[in-house]
Amino acid sequence: MKIAVCVSHVPDTATKINIGSDGKTIDPNGVTYIVNPYDEFAIEEALKTKEKLGGEVVVISVGNDANKETLRKALAMGADSAVLLKDENQRDSFGIAKALAEEIKLQNAELVFFGKQSVDYDNSITGQLTAELLNYNSVSVVVNLNIDGNKITAEREIEGGKEVVETSLPVVITAQKGLNEPRYASLKGIMAAKKKTIEEKEAVAANLFVEVVEMKKPAPKQAGKILGSDSSAVSELVKLLREEAKVI
Amino acid sequence: MANKILVFIEQRNGQIKRASLEAVKAANNLAEKLSYEVTAVSVGNEVSDLDKINVQKVVHYKNNELENYSTSAYSDLVAEFAKESDAEILFFGNTALGKDLAPRVSVKLEAGIIMDVVEFNINDGNIIASRPVYAGKALTNVKVNTKKKVFTVRPNVFSLSDEESGSAQVEIKEVSSPNLACKVVEYKKAGGKLDVAEADIIVSGGRGLKEAGNFKLIEDLAEVLGGAVGASRAVVDAGWRPHGEQVGQTGKTVSPTLYVAVGISGAIQHLAGMRSSKYIVAINKDADAPIFQIADYGIAGDAFEIVPALIEELKKVKA
Ligand SMILES: Cc1cc2nc3c(=O)[nH]c(=O)nc-3n(C[C@H](O)[C@H](O)[C@H](O)COP(=O)(O)OP(=O)(O)OC[C@H]3O[C@@H](n4cnc5c(N)ncnc54)[C@H](O)[C@@H]3O)c2cc1C
Ligand SMILES: Nc1ncnc2c1ncn2[C@@H]1O[C@H](COP(=O)(O)O)[C@@H](O)[C@H]1O
C-alpha cells in the first residue's frame, strides 16, 4: 500500500513574530523554521503502519526550496520518497489542498496522513479539504488508529472525551498529539536521507479563495496589578473579581 | 428575496451546543448590517429546543442513525440544504465537530472558508473576518473572494445574552438512507467533568504545584468557582494530568471569561492557548514570571498558602 504524508514547514513556536513590510505576512528575518509539530505524529504513524502492514511512504509538501529541510527530516526518519510541489507565492489552504490532492491521486495513495493543524495559520482544515477533493473518507484529530484490512477504526479527540469512528479506505487521517511518540532520526537515517532525491514539480494552479488583507499585532494587554505576595491579598482579589470583572 | 445566511446547529445527545447559539448571534449581527436573512439547519435524531433558536426557521434533518456525528452524512445534508436554499454564507461554531464538518462542506460548495473568527466588519461591501494566527501572536483580517463563504466562529467570543432566544418555525425532514461512510460508533467520556474548551471559568495548574497529588488544590478551586481544570504542558508531559486538559499551542485554545493560572510561568506556548481570556488571574511565587505580563490581577506568592485562602474566601462570599 502506498502511504502519503503531507507536511508543512512552519516557524518555530517560540519565535517572536514581526509583521513584514507588506503588512500581510510575517517578516521572515531571524525566524527559525521547523517541521510542523503535528506532522511529526503523522510521519511516525505512517512509518509504524508501513512497518506493520508493508508498503511505501511518500512525504509531500507544498511550498518553496525552504520546505526541503522538512522533507529531508521526514526522509531521515524513514520515509521512502519525497515530493516538493513548488509555488513561490502564498497559497490559501484550498490551493494547498488542491495541489496535494492532485499528487496523492498520481501517487495512488489510499492512506493519507496530515497533522491536525499547522502552527502558523492554525487553520486545521487542509486534511479535510484534501479528503473532500479526493472524495476520500476522513477522520480528524486522531489519537488512536487501527487498520484491519479495509476497515479503519479511529479515536478522535473532542470536547469532554473521545469519539470512536468507523470508516474504510481510502482515508485521510489528521494526527493529534498522543497518537504516538515520534522517533528521532538515526545517524544512519540521516546519512541515507542525504542520498535520496527530492522530486520537484510545479504545484497545480489554484485561485485564491481567501486573502489576507492585513496582519497586525494584537493590542498589547496592559499588565495588571500585583495585589500582594501573601494571603492578605486574597480578599482584594475576590472583591475585584466580583465588582470589577463581575465574574463571580 | 434577501440573500441568506445559514447557521449549522450542533447537537450532542439531542442538546444544542452553546457554540452554535453564539454562531447564530454572530450571524444575526452580520445579517442586520447586510440586510440578509438567517436560517438554521441541524442534523440528528430528537433535538430539544430547536424552536427556541433566534431565527425565523430551522430545518432539521432527522434519522435515528444521525444522532451521532458522521462526517459523510452531515456534510452531504448540510451542503445539499445550502444549495437548495441558495445560502450565500454559512456559519458554524469552531468546535471539534465544526472544524471537521465546515471544511468538507466548503469544498462541496466551492466556497472560501475562514476558521476561528473573532470579529466581523464590513469594508467597501466586503466582509472582513478577523482571526488570530501564529497562536495569537498576530491577528489577520481576511476576506473571501468566492461568492459563497463559510465561517466558523470562536466559542465564547460572541457571548450570549438573555434576549437571544426566539420562536422559530421548525421543519423536520426525515432522511431515508444517510451516507454513513464515516460514522461515530461510540463516545467515551473523559474522566474530568467540564472540558476546558467549553468552560467559562478555567483554573489551570503548572509545575509550581510540585507533584500530581497537589492538583487537589486546583480541583477544589475549580469547584468553588464552577469551572474546569486545565494544565500546562510541563505537568501533562510529567504524566500528572491528561492531555485533554492541556492549554496552549499543542493543547487547547480557550477563551473563557476567567482564567486562573497557578504555578504556571507563562511560556509563550502556554500564552498561545489562553491569552484571549477575558480576565486572567496569576498566582506565582516569582514576581518576574511572564504570566504577570498578561494577567489582570496577580498575587506574587506561594500557591500552597494563597490557594487555600482563596478557596475559603470564595466559599464565604458565595455562601
Ligand atoms: C513546540 C512546543 C509546544 C509547546 N506547547 C505547549 C502547550 O500547548 N502548553 C503549555 O503549557 N506549554 C507548551 N510548551 C511548553 C512551554 O514552553 C513551557 O515549558 C511550559 O508551559 C512550562 O510549564 P509550567 O509553566 O507549568 O512550568 P515552569 O515553566 O517550570 O513554571 C513553573 C512556575 O511555577 C512557579 N512556582 C514554583 N513554585 C511555586 C509555588 N509554590 N507557588 C506558586 N508558584 C510557584 C515558578 O515561579 C514558575 O514560574 C510547548 C513547548 C514547545 C517547544
Ligand atoms: N504547504 C503544505 N504542504 C503540505 N502539507 C501541508 C501544507 N500546509 C498544511 N499542510 C498539512 O495540513 C495540516 C493542517 O494544516 P492547516 O490546515 O494549515 O492547519 C498540516 O498539519 C499538514 O499536514
Contact B100 A230 (CB under 8 A): no
Q: What is the mean pLDDT of residues A50-71?
A: 97
A245 to chain B, any CB pair closer than 8 A? The answer is: yes
Q: What is the mean pLDDT of residues A203-230?
A: 90
Alpha carbons B313 and B301: distance in angstroms, whole number: 17
What pLDDT, in 10s, does the model give residues B79-121?
999 999 999 999 999 999 999 999 999 999 999 999 999 999 9
The C-alpha cell at A212 is 489576507
What are the residue ranges in chain B where pLDDT is below 70? Answer: 1, 162-164, 191-192
Ligand 2: distance of its center to the CA of B144 in Å?
Answer: 20
Between β-strands B15-16 and A198-202, what pairing exists: parallel, antiparallel or unpaired? unpaired
What pLDDT, on the 0 to 100 scale, is given for residue B162? Answer: 63
Residue intervals in chain B for CATH 3.40.50.1220: 201-318
Q: Which CATH superfamily is domain A2-202 in?
A: HUPs (3.40.50.620)
**Chain A residues close to B103, C-beta within 8 Å:** 93, 125, 128-129, 132
What pLDDT, in 10s, does the model give residues A87-100?
999 899 999 999 99
Q: What is the mean pLDDT of chain A?
A: 95
Q: What is the 3-state secondary structure (H, E, C) of chain A?
A: CEEEEECCEEECCCCCCCECCCCCCECCCCCCEEECHHHHHHHHHHHHHHHHHCCEEEEEEEECHHHHHHHHHHHHHCCCEEEEEECCCCCCHHHHHHHHHHHHHHHCCCEEEEECCCCCCCCCCHHHHHHHHHCCEEEEEEEEEEEECCEEEEEEEECCEEEEEEEECCEEEEECCCCCCCCCCCHHHHHHHHHCCEEEEECCCCCCCEEEEEEECCCCCCCCEEEECCHHHHHHHHHHHHHCCCCC
What pLDDT, in 10s, does the model give residues A33-49?
999 999 999 999 999 99
Q: What is the mean pLDDT of chain B?
A: 94
B188 to chain A, any CB pair closer than 8 A? The answer is: yes
What pLDDT, on the 0 to 100 scale, is given for residue B208? Answer: 98
What pLDDT, on the 0 to 100 scale, is given for residue A214? Answer: 97
| Closest ligand 1 atom number to CA of residue B207 | 26
Alpha carbons A191 and A91: distance in angstroms, whole number: 33
Q: What is the mean pLDDT of residues A53-71?
A: 97
pTM for this one? 0.88
CATH architecture, domain defined by B201-318? 3-Layer(aba) Sandwich (3.40)
What pLDDT, on the 0 to 100 scale, is given for residue B101? Answer: 98
Give yes or no for residue A145 having a pLDDT over 80. yes
- Residue among A6, A104, A128 whose CB has most ligand 2 atoms within 8 A, to mutate: A6
* ipTM at complex level: 0.89
Q: Which CATH superfamily is domain B4-174 in?
A: HUPs (3.40.50.620)
What pLDDT, on the 0 to 100 scale, is given for residue A17? Answer: 87
Residue intervals in chain B for CATH 3.40.50.620: 4-174
What pLDDT, in 10s, does the model give residues A193-202?
999 999 999 9
Domains of chain A, by residue range, sit at: 2-202
